[in-house]
A and B are shown apart, each in its own frame.
Chain A
Amino acid sequence: MLFNSIQYLIFLPTVFILYWFIFNRKLKIQNFLLLTVSYVFYGWWDWRFLSLIIFSSIIDFYCGIYIKKAKRMLIKKRWLTLSMLINLGFLGVFKYFNFFSSSLENALNSIGYQVDTLTLNIILPVGISFYTFQTMSYTIDVYRDKLKPTKDPIAFFAFVSFFPQLVAGPIERATNLLPQFYEKRTFDLEKAKDGLRQILWGLFKKIVIADNCAVIVNQVFENYTEYNASSLALGSIFFAFQIYGDFSGYSDIAIGTARLFGFNLMQNFAFPYFSRDIAEFWRRWHISLSTWFRDYVYIPLGGSRGSTFKKVRNTFIIFVVSGFWHGANWTFIVWGLLNAIYFLPLLLLNKNRNNTDTVAEKKVFISFKELINVSITFTLTIIAWVFFRAPNVSTAFNYINNIFSNTLFTMPSISLKPLAFIIILIVIEWIQRHRKHGLELDNPKMSRPLRWGVYYTFIIIIFWFGAEKQEFIYFQF
């Protein structure tokens, strides 16, 4: 079920009413309702994949218990390994098997061995990378003694499959989300109102920004040889906003929805395109994944401590793995590598934590220096996004090569329609950059007619200017 669908428009209020009025007597029953509706939500795509999520939940539920029960570290480690093997095994089979198989075939063929490797005709289950990472965080945290294993299967299964963030995040930590299933949720009016605002903001980003950009981006990337340099440059900028609107829009809807049910999910995006360097960008982009890799991969590897070699190695590992997480394609790996190259100088010069505050803190306008830094960072991310979007690495190189040609300063031949919406987005995000989302209206002086006027304006903009419905990009990951 898509967030931007009529089905969801019916599903959400129905679940809300059931949750707060019918199933609100006992916590277990309320959790059971969440579990059931989450499975309905997920099964809407393909009910067969429910078996995977159920199996994964069963394994991790018991692994958690047995890790805790085990007296010896070796046994604990074995249970953890089992959990990792099964979760990563699912990912390996469903997401990466064909990639490894065809890469091996290409490699052997290139050195003269003609082989036909096996490729499987499998569909990638929606959101598999998200929920496997979420459930792995549970067993790792239990292993590290950061979290007590739960004995409540309903709470645990509901935590793994919690519908607002099930298919595209934020990837929640068990330490944050699971305890929320143990406590009786109370309805918080302000939280619910802000949740609805965040949903509206997310829909604006998805339907108006991302979907309008998608129409042009698809044309440009599929026929990039037919466009002049300025169109290609603009096409890549549109893609930067498409992926931002698409993914952060989903996160906003997820967080807003969870708030309606009394849950707090972590912030996943914090106005990343206002970042002044790549390190800041990665603190503001897909925060739940970046911090996941930081806590479960980067820090265990030694993080930024140790020799220069280790720092470089760890940085490359974390970015390549992050790229690979997105999909089984060399384009994502190059995208990761490129970000590692951007990040490394900051790390080695110890400047990776230079910009931990918000841009133009306590000021209305950006300074010239900050503007230059933001522009450079944005340009770097755009170059990386070309690899992310292109169907293969050679196309990405050709695309970038074609941008830097003598038609760069001519008029673009593509529709400029999304520009108006992008400007609206940038202005609003700039004004709201100290807040959690673009429509967080916490000014008590703002009268209700004015607030409602803002909501109606956004609804009309979404309704009138929304493009043809497109799937969320991150569903494929």
Chain B
Amino acid sequence: MNQNNLHNRINLIFFIKRTLFFGVLLLILSLSLDILITNGLKKSQTFHFVDWNNIYNSKINSDIIISGNSKAWHHISPKILDSILDAKSYNLGIDGYDFVMQNAKANVYLNHNKKPRLLIQVVGNSTLNLRKDLYQSIQFKPYLNDSVISKATKKYNGFSKLDYHIPLYRYRGENSILVNSVLNIVGLGHLQKDKNKYKGFEAYDRTWDNSFQQFVKKYPKGKTFNVSEYHKNIFENFIKEQKQNNIEIVLVYSPTFYKSQQYINNRIVSFFKNVAKKYDAKFLDYSNYKFAKNKKYFYNSQHLNKAGAELFSKLLAEDIKHINFLKK
């Protein structure tokens, strides 16, 4: 090797070493930033993170857990349940999601908190119907390292492989997340604290909107919901496991505006009834309850407003009290 070649070789190795060093520093920098942002978010009390943080920080430890989608989140008030049942309850309702994500949230709860005595599982037609997109995906970002969340989020279209494996990648472009995290790091997280949620529950003080009319226009012959076998299986397994863990279970079909029911071509009730029967759980069907005919308790055909939620929560609490589940 002549002098020139040797010199080039040395330069080449120097270049590679320097580039690698630059890359390693970059990796350390992005990993540090990732950890910093994640830690900030894990203290956040904002809408998307408050419940997840309460769960992960083992702050819930309730006697009663309410699980389901927006019909759990908007319909069942832990405050009312607590006062009537003289117990601690928490609402884990997750807006817009089917049972895959509901199951994940309940499992994360069980992994980080004491076992509840009673699980109220709100069910309906969308429970067994997988949505495609990862709705409000921002809420999962700090917890992608948790295998339960990682497995569940992969069922939906939302995150790429890079989000899971490249430090900081999941937060790119999320300026609100950055601000949120920084505020929590410097102790100013309270400035963004969610004031509307109480123990995971949030009631909407709204009057009837026209979304039902739009639905009718869109589906004049009614809508048929897909029912997934995979969902049926995980639902049944979940109920079975919780019963084996000595957790009492109430499946609740919460009220929907009565006219909307005639536009659902395949109301799924028998499956939930059968599962309840098979595993010695209780199935409470409020779908046709008398106030389901009164628009003043709903803000749309599927969701109760604040007045409706209070009324329904009282009714449910009284029924649970009557069943005497918590005393078992």
Contact = CB atoms under 8 A, between A and B. Distances in A.
Interface of A: 6, 20, 186-189, 192-193, 196, 452, 455-456, 459, 463-467
Given A6-B162, A186-B5, A463-B30, 5 more contacts: A186-B8, A187-B9, A189-B15, A456-B29, A467-B173
A187 B26 contact: no
Nearest to A13: B19
Contacts of B4: 186
Interface in B234-273: none
Nearest to B20: A13
A467 B169 CA distance: 13
B26 A196 contact: no
B22 interface: yes
Contact of B8 (A187, A196, A464): A187
Contact of A464 (B5, B11, B15, B172): B172
B168 A463 contact: yes
Given A452-B22, A456-B29, A459-B26, A192 B168 contact: no
A466 B12 contact: no
Contacts of A192: 15
A193 B15 contact: yes
B14 interface: yes
A466 B174 CA distance: 11
A449 to B, nearest CB: 11
Contacts of A463: 30, 168-169, 172
Contact of A466 (B22, B26, B173): B173
A456 B30 CA distance: 10
Nearest to B19: A196
Contacts of B173: 464-467
Interface string B1-33: 000110011011011000100100110011000
24 contacts: A6-B162, A186-B4, A186-B5, A186-B8, A187-B8, A187-B12, A187-B15, A188-B11, A189-B11, A189-B12, A189-B14, A189-B15, A192-B15, A193-B15, A456-B25, A459-B26, A463-B30, A463-B169, A463-B172, A464-B172, A465-B173, A466-B172, A466-B173, A467-B173
A463 B8 CA distance: 33
A28 to B, nearest CB: 18
A189 to B, nearest CB: 4
A327 to B, nearest CB: 32
Contacts of B172: 463-464, 466
A456 B25 CA distance: 10
A178 to B, nearest CB: 23
Contact of A456 (B5, B8, B26, B169): B26
Interface string B112-151: 0000000000000000000000000000000000000000
Contacts of B8: 186-187
A294 B22 CA distance: 43
Nearest 4 A/B pairs, CB to CB: A189-B11, A187-B12, A187-B8, A186-B8
A91 to B, nearest CB: 37
Nearest to B14: A189
Contacts of A189: 11-12, 14-15
Contacts of A466: 172-173
Interface residues on chain B, size class? 10 to 19
A470 to B, nearest CB: 15
A187 B11 contact: yes
A237 B14 CA distance: 43
Contacts of A186: 4-5, 8
Contacts of B9: 187
A75 to B, nearest CB: 45
Nearest to B10: A189
Nearest to A260: B15
Contacts of A193: 15
B169 to A, nearest CB: 8
A430 B12 CA distance: 33
A196 B22 CA distance: 12
A459 B33 CA distance: 14
B127 to A, nearest CB: 33
Contacts of B26: 456, 459
Contacts of A196: 19
A188 B4 CA distance: 11
A466 B168 CA distance: 13
Nearest to B178: A464
Interface string B65-83: 0000000000000000000
Nearest to A185: B8
A186 B172 CA distance: 39
A62 to B, nearest CB: 36
A465 B162 CA distance: 16
A198 to B, nearest CB: 15
Contacts of A188: 11
Contacts of A464: 172-173
Nearest to B4: A186
A20 B9 CA distance: 9
Given A186-B8, A463-B172, A455 B15 contact: no
Interface string B26-42: 10011000000000000
A20 B12 contact: yes
Contacts of B5: 186
A349 B52 CA distance: 72
Given A20-B12, A189-B15, A455 B168 contact: no
Contacts of B15: 187, 189, 192-193
A188 B12 CA distance: 8
Nearest to A196: B19
B5 to A, nearest CB: 8
A456 B33 CA distance: 13
A463 B169 CA distance: 8
Contacts of B30: 463
A435 B220 CA distance: 67
B156 to A, nearest CB: 18
A6 B233 CA distance: 37
Contacts of B169: 463
A466 B25 CA distance: 21
Contacts of A456: 25-26, 29
Nearest to A462: B172
Nearest to A186: B8
A187 B4 CA distance: 10
A193 B26 CA distance: 17
Nearest to B160: A6
A190 to B, nearest CB: 9
Contacts of B162: 6
Contacts of A20: 12
A276 to B, nearest CB: 37
Contacts of B11: 187-189
A193 B22 CA distance: 12
A20 B19 CA distance: 15
Interface string B155-181: 000000010000011001100000000
